[in-house]
Chains A and B, each alone.
Chain A
Amino acid sequence: MSDKTITPREITFRIRRYNPDTDTVPHWDEFRMHVHDGMTVLEALHQLKAEQTPNLAYRSSCRMGVCGSCGMFINDLPMLACQTQVLHLGTDVVSVAPLPNYPNVKDLVPNLEPLIQKHAAIKPFIIFTNQAEIDEPTGEFIQTPEERESISQFTHCIKCGLCLAACPTVATDPEFLGPQALAQAYRYSADNRDCGLKERLVAIDVFHGPYQCHMAGACSQACPKGVDPAFAIQLLKRTLVLDSIGFGKKPSKIAKIMPLANVVKQIEEFAPPPRTVK
């Protein structure tokens, strides 16, 4: 990035406004403000709200790319406002709009209900069928570092919804489960502690499931946490095909229970020596 693009200067913010109580269609408002090096879009919005437009509505929380609240359509790309530095965008006019593919609540606030509904539909939790073990756990599941690593990146999802906003299939087919839910369906189904694929089939083995993915890859580019949902969807397809022809997860591949006494023993074995404070 050249020095010129990150030189502190006046930036014009084009912000899409919509108030359901007074507006029938959204419109754009422009604001100018001085932006310093390192200032994020979220900080700029805070400053605009404080100094120029107090009724601006947007959602934010952690300010460090963890909570996933501040997803916005910045310069026509879905991004987290707290992770996007204004001067790094390299333009003198920065447009900020609510995430596409979601209903708009007000100004920059999208209604993430479709994301939550699709996420809930795929049963995003470990399903273990041994009810006695669930009621009275006798130990812990055994999961090797390799088994954990195989699903690790998919556990990083923060449910920010950027992938659904970027997905061209969701844009044309709102019923498509979308990259977030499908990646999570793979994440849980591939987990060696889980035996719930059969229960998830009702939600994922349908027309609007993984086979509707057009493999544009926009979800993987948009993800602020480095998750590759497009890849997860391909892995999910493989899982489903193998399951449909009787080569699904074998019972021997499902995590065994390590008795509690052994867990304690292992913790003692691998525990670091007691700290000595001088």
Chain B
Amino acid sequence: MRETRLWSLHILVIPIIAVLLGMHLALMHYAPVFYDMSVDKARDFTTMIERGKSVAQLVIYILLLIAGLYHGLYGLRGILRELPLTPTLVKVVDVGILLFGLFIFALGTYVTWWTFNFGG
């Protein structure tokens, strides 16, 4: 893929992360403000499992996972590829980061999906 598209996507996900992270903060850290619930209660296991059954939470967290992983791993690739690497190592970095991203995405999606379907 053209580097322009990869970079554009990296920039494009910034506002998406900002919005989704704002929602995450509202759910978890500003629970007393938005839900009249203490932070401890918001972080409580049973509350989290209960919240996990919401479709909105499922969508928000999977989207945040995709956006955060793409943004962070593209940045990491940029840092690693600035090092003096051989062409083979460049491929190792590119493929390694892609596989690592897919693994974390699968893991994160599984946890969110499990909570949505079977939690509690």
Residues of A in contact with B (beta carbons under 8 Å apart): 169, 172-174, 201, 205-207, 209, 211-212, 237, 240-241, 243-245
Contacts and interface: CB of A to CB of B under 8 A. Distances in A.
Contacts of B36: none
B5 A244 contact: yes
A173 B4 contact: no
A209 B3 CA distance: 8
A205 B81 contact: no
Contacts of B4: 205, 211, 237, 240-241, 243-244
Query: What 10 pairs between A and B have smallest CB-CB spacing?
Result: A244-B4, A240-B4, A211-B7, A173-B82, A205-B2, A205-B3, A205-B4, A241-B8, A244-B5, A206-B3
Contacts of A240: 4
Nearest to B82: A173
B82 A211 contact: no
Interface majority SS (helix, strand, loop, mixed), chain B = helix
Interface string B64-84: 000000000000001001101
Most B CB atoms within 10 A — which of A206, A207, A209?
A207
Interface residues of B, number: 10
B48 to A, nearest CB: 38
Contacts of A243: 4
Contacts of B8: 241, 244-245
Interface in B71-103: 78, 81-82, 84
Nearest to B5: A244
Contacts of A174: 84
Interface string B1-19: 0111101100000000000
A251 B116 CA distance: 52
21 contacts: A172-B82, A173-B82, A174-B84, A201-B2, A205-B2, A205-B4, A207-B3, A207-B81, A211-B3, A211-B4, A211-B7, A211-B78, A212-B78, A212-B82, A237-B4, A237-B7, A241-B4, A241-B8, A243-B4, A244-B4, A244-B8
A178 to B, nearest CB: 14
A258 B2 CA distance: 36
Nearest to A242: B4
A169 B78 CA distance: 12
A244 B81 CA distance: 23
